[in-house]
Amino acid sequence: MEYLLNIVPAVAAGLQVTLKIFIVTIILSLPLGILMALGRISKIMPLRKFMGAYIYVMRGTPLMLQILFIYYGLPFIIQGLRLPDFPAALIAFVFNYAAYFAEIFRGGIQSIDRGQYEGAKVLGMTYIQTMRRIVLPQVVKRVLPPVANETINLLKDTSLVYILAMNDILRITRSIVQRDFDTTAFIVAAVFYLFFTFILTKIFSYLEKRYAVYDE
């Protein structure tokens, strides 16, 4: 018990890195994903092709490779651009998750009946008004389950930042285990992850309930 009280604050110190990466990535990658989805289905062919290629690359290579590339590889391409570890990791996370979210939103947008666009158009709405007021609000309801999935994935993916020697929950935990030859710390880390997953699950089921006021 005394040992537990000792290591819990130590593991909790890693929360800062884990949560910062998680929160900033969610805040930036969701809107970016919506924009990318719109680009992916745009009438402008080069934009559509570019987004397709971008999503292919981001989904087709490991996130860890992308983190390493931005941290170590970018300075060779853009001379002298060596980012500190946190922004480098963050850029990789945001651009990677935006690609996944883009595909979720694309599916959601394309599942909306054409009649909705036509109904909006004959009322005089522009493309932007139609998207903002008619289509996207309905998309949100449909994509909540897959977005919840990705969000929970992200929480756990944050542990990849250990590769840049950033002290997130899991890296600290590992060093404690190696130092003390005691695996209790792993269980502490698991409890932390489960706690935040629990909160996320609650938030998403609240949102789903709120959107359940209407049927389609």
Partner 1 sequence: MSFVEMDHIRKNFGSLEVLKDVSLHMDAGEVVSIIGPSGSGKSTFLRCLCQLETIDKGSITVDGDAMVSQPAGDGRSVYASPSHVRAICRRMGMCFQHFNLFPHMTVLDNILEAPRIVKGMKTNEIMPTAEALLKKVGLWDKRDEYPSRLSGGQQQRVAIARALAMNPDIMLFDEPTSALDPELTGEVLRTIKQLADEDMTMIIVTHEMAFAREVADRILFMADGIVQEEGTPDQIFEHPQNERTQNFLKSMLRF
Q: Does 179 bind partner 1 (CB under 8 A)?
A: no
How far from the centroid of its chain's Cα atoms is residue 137's Cα?
A: 20
Q: Does 207 bind partner 1 (CB under 8 A)?
A: no
Are 99 and 59 in contact, with CB atoms under 8 Å apart?
Answer: yes
Residue 139 sits at the vertex; the CA angle it makes with 136 and 142, to the nearest 5 degrees, is 165
The smaller minimum CB distance to partner 1, of residues 126 and 153, is found at 126
Q: Classify the C-alpha dihedral 5-10-16-19 as positive or negative.
A: negative
State the minimum distance, in angstroms, from the CB of residue 202 to partner 1.
Answer: 23
Binding track over 128-167 against partner 1, x by CB under 8 A: -x---xx--xx--x--------------------------
The binder of partner 1 chosen from 118, 180, 182, 208 (CB under 8 A): 118
The smaller minimum CB distance to partner 1, of residues 110 and 126, is found at 126
* C-alpha dist (Å) from residue 62 to 39, 59, 68, 180: 23, 8, 10, 32
Q: Does 209 bind partner 1 (CB under 8 A)?
A: no
Are 92 and 25 in contact, with CB atoms under 8 Å apart?
Answer: no
Return residues touching partner 1 (CB under 8 A).
113, 115-116, 118-126, 129, 133-134, 137-138, 141, 213-216
